[in-house]
């Protein structure tokens, strides 16, 4: 089992607010890990630290065996390997669905256009939106937008995918299609870290679940253990509220 | 003593017919002055907008100072300063010193328009670009700027119309544009009211043509997004 990402003693503050406190976390290749916890517990910040959208104050982030330091590493290269899906999709509104997907391969990887378009269309096929390649994001439903966003992240062929509350901004009837797409991805062996409030999904799809509270990891375990037999009082309390 | 009527419709019509060749010629100068000042002003404006958005504080201070000074002083003062002051260093024609003064004046407002439009683009757009491995500059160029440009079109159109009307101040450094031509005709015929109403009509016409163009651009840009 190959280690994909390891976090050691990670700390992050926003001003006086200490958001992440000595976080230790390891994710192996093909693991699916869900981060759960109340709002403000630091899960999203932790995820954002992993692709350096937030820069940690101290601690180590080791990616694929190499410690990444924002001072010495080209973060643009690191981020190519770390896909990210946002709560609010953040599709590019001035580009069509296909243009959204092929933008980074074309501009960053300098993939030739024919290849990029071919791969882009395959990815859209995979998320079930092949027929929408030519429309602008404003014409799509929330669920469709999020699936395009997933295809866009996959287009860079990342080693790991980060999901920041991917279904929180969706109407309830659209959540299923996005979770389905993510489930397919998990089955293919993609390494995934998912911040979510969908406990059913975490329990069913995630290999591991991490419960965070107040900037700390309270409990980490196999999803079935954490949900069925939580060890910590706080975890029990949280689960009794959300399940 | 009877001073005569302030406005005579017959005079107005006959003056309208008699003076149009002069005004068409002068109108072309006004258009040239406007286009030159708006184009140069946009280039300088974008430059200062970028400085103001720069992560480097010194650039932001330079841009902020420039914008404060230009917006805080009257256009006529800037035109005179450039025409009488600057012309001692480099010989500038009346047209180009007026065009440059107008360009500089417009640039401060245009810089603020671009800065505002750029900052109004959701931060998530930048994060999405960066998360895909795009550099900061590439994200700016490919993702943020195209959207900001679209958002800047309506206020830019507005600024261009202001620039067109402001070009009348070039009359005071002897550029033979619409307003100075009207002054000359009014002084010669003493048909003051009629002449200035006529020149007002020419400005109004130009502004309306400009508005139609701006609206067409706006709609075209909206179409490509929807």
* Rounded-to-integer distance, Cα B136 and Cα A32, Å: 30
Phi, psi angle pair for A12, to nearest 5°: -150, 130
> Tokens for A70?
């924002």
Mean pLDDT calculated for residue range A206-227? 94
Residue A14 lies in a domain: no
Token reading at A204: 């069913």
Are the beta carbons of A90 and B122 separated by less than 8 Å?
Answer: yes
pTM across the whole model: 0.85
Round the average pLDDT of chain A to a whole number and report it: 94
d(CA A221, CA A231) in angstroms, rounded, equals 10
- Nearest Cα neighbor of A215 from A38, A75, A87, A86 is A38
With contacts defined as CB-CB under 8 Å, which chain A residues touch B147? 92-94
Residue A236 domain-assigned?
A: yes
| pLDDT score for A242 | 84
- CA B120 to the chain's CA centroid: 23
Whether the CB of A108 is below 8 Å from some CB of chain B: the reply is yes
Contact A79 B132 (CB under 8 A): yes
What's B3-225's CATH class? mainly alpha
Number of domains present in the structure of chain A: 1
Q: From the list A80, A138, A149, which residue is nearest B133 (CB)?
A: A80
Give A141→chain B minimum CA distance, Å.
14
CB contact under 8 Å between A94 and B147, yes or no, is yes
d(CA A152, CA A146): 10
The answer to whether residue A83 neighbours chain B at the CB level (below 8 Å) is yes
What are the phi and psi torsion angles at B4 (to 5°)? 90, 165
Of B133, B138, B225, the CB nearest to A79: B133
The band of B70, judged by pLDDT with boundaries at 50, 70 and 90, is very high
Q: Which of A92-96, B105-109, B200-204, B216-220 has the lowest mean pLDDT?
A: B216-220
CA-wise closest residue to B136 among B122, B150, B125: B125
The domain ranges of chain B are: 3-225
Round the average pLDDT of chain B to a whole number and report it: 91
Does residue A102 have a pLDDT over 70?
Answer: yes
Tell whether A135 is covered by a domain: yes
Q: Is the residue at A71 inside a domain? A: no
3-state secondary structure B35-102: HHHHHHHHHHHHHHHHHHHCCCHHHHHHHHHHHHHHHHCCHHHHHHHHHHHHHHCCCCCHHHHHHHHH
Angstrom CA distances, B73 to A113, B86, B178, stand at 51, 17, 24
Q: Are the beta carbons of A153 and B132 separated by less than 8 Å?
A: yes
Query: Sign of torsion, CA A89 A15 B59 B45?
Result: positive
Instruction: Provide the greatest CA pair distance for chain B.
Output: 83
CB A116 within 8 A of CB A105: yes
Above 70 in pLDDT, residue B13? Answer: yes
What residue numbers bound the domain in which A220 lies? 31-55+77-240
User: Is the confidence metric ipTM above 0.90 for this complex?
Assistant: yes
Is the CB of residue A90 less than 8 Å away from at least one CB of chain B? yes
> CB of B55 within 8 Å of any CB in chain A?
no
Question: What would the pLDDT profile of A19-43 be if each residue is shown by its tens digit?
Answer: 999 999 999 999 999 999 998 899 9
Q: Does A152 map to a domain?
A: yes
The CA distance from B155 to the nearest CA of chain A, in Å, is 19
Domain harbouring A89, CATH code: 3.40.50.300
Q: Which residues contact B14 (CB under 8 A, 6 or more apart)?
A: none
Which two three-digit tokens encode residue B127? 């994060």
Kindly state the greatest CA–CA separation across chain A. 56
Which position has the higher pLDDT, B10 or B4?
A: B10
Residue B15 CA to residue B195 CA, distance in Å, equals: 7
Task: Please determine, for residue B2, whether its predicted confidence score (pLDDT) is greater than 70.
Answer: no
Q: How far apart are CA A103 and CA B191, in angstroms?
A: 64
Q: Do B142 and A152 make contact, defined as CB atoms within 8 angstroms?
A: no
Least Cα distance to B140 among B119, B155, B156, B165 occurs for B119
* A84 lies within 8 A of chain B by CB: yes
Q: Do A108 and B134 touch (CB under 8 A)?
A: yes
| B12 to B158, B191, B193, B195: CA distances (angstroms) | 30, 8, 9, 7
* Confidence category of residue B89, pLDDT binned at 50, 70, 90: confident
A118 pLDDT band, cuts 50/70/90, is very high
pLDDT tens for A140-159 read 999 999 999 999 999 999 99
Give the rounded percent of residues in chain A with a pLDDT score beyond 70.
Answer: 100
pLDDT at B4: 56
Q: Is B226 close to A138, i.e. CB distance below 8 A?
A: yes
What mean pLDDT is predicted for residues B189-216? Answer: 93
């Amino acid at each position: 089992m190959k280690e994909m990402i390891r976090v050691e003693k990670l700390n992050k503050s926003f001003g006086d607010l200490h958001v992440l406190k000595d976080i230790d976390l390891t994710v192996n290749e093909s693991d699916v890990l869900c981060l759960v916890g109340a709002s403000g517990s630091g899960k999203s910040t932790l995820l954002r630290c992993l692709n350096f959208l937030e820069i940690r104050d101290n601690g180590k982030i080791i990616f694929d065996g190499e410690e990444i330091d924002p001072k010495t590493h080209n973060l643009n290269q690191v981020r190519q390997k770390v896909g990210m899906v946002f709560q609010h999709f953040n599709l590019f509104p001035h580009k069509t669905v296909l243009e959204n997907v092929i933008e980074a391969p074309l501009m960053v990887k300098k993939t030739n256009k024919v290849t990029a378009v071919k791969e882009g269309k395959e990815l859209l096929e995979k998320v079930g939106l092949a027929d929408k390649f030519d429309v602008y994001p404003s014409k799509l439903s929330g669920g469709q937008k999020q699936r395009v966003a997933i295809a866009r992240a996959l287009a860079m062929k990342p080693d790991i995918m980060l999901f920041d509350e991917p279904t929180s901004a969706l109407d309830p009837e659209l959540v299923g299609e996005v979770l389905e797409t993510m489930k397919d991805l998990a089955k293919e062996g993609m390494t995934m870290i998912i911040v979510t409030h969908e406990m059913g999904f975490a329990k069913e799809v995630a290999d591991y679940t991490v419960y965070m509270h107040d900037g700390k990891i309270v409990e980490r375990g196999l999803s079935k253990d954490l949900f069925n037999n939580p060890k910590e009082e706080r975890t029990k309390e949280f689960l009794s509220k959300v399940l | 003593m009877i001073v005569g009527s302030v406005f005579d419709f017959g005079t107005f019509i006959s003056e309208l017919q008699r003076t149009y060749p002069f005004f068409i010629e002068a109108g072309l100068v006004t258009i040239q002055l406007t286009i030159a000042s708006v184009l140069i002003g946009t280039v300088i404006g974008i430059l200062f907008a970028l400085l103001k958005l720069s992560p480097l504080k010194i650039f932001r201070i330079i841009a902020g100072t420039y914008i404060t000074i230009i917006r805080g002083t009257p256009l006529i003062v800037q035109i005179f300063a450039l025409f009488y002051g600057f012309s001692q260093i480099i010989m500038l024609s009346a047209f180009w010193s007026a065009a440059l003064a107008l360009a500089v004046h417009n640039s401060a407002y245009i810089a603020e328009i671009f800065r505002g439009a750029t900052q109004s683009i959701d931060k998530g757009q930048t994060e999405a670009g960066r998360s895909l491995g795009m550099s900061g500059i590439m994200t700016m160029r490919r993702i943020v700027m195209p959207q900001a440009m679209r958002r800047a079109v309506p206020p830019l159109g507005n600024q261009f119309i202001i620039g067109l009307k402001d070009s009348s101040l070039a009359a005071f450094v002897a550029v033979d544009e619409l307003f100075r031509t009207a002054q000359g005709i009014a002084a010669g015929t003493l048909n003051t009211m009629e002449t200035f109403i006529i020149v007002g009509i020419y400005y109004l016409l130009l502004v309306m043509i400009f508005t139609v163009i701006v609206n067409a651009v706006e709609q075209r840009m909206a179409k490509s997004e929807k």
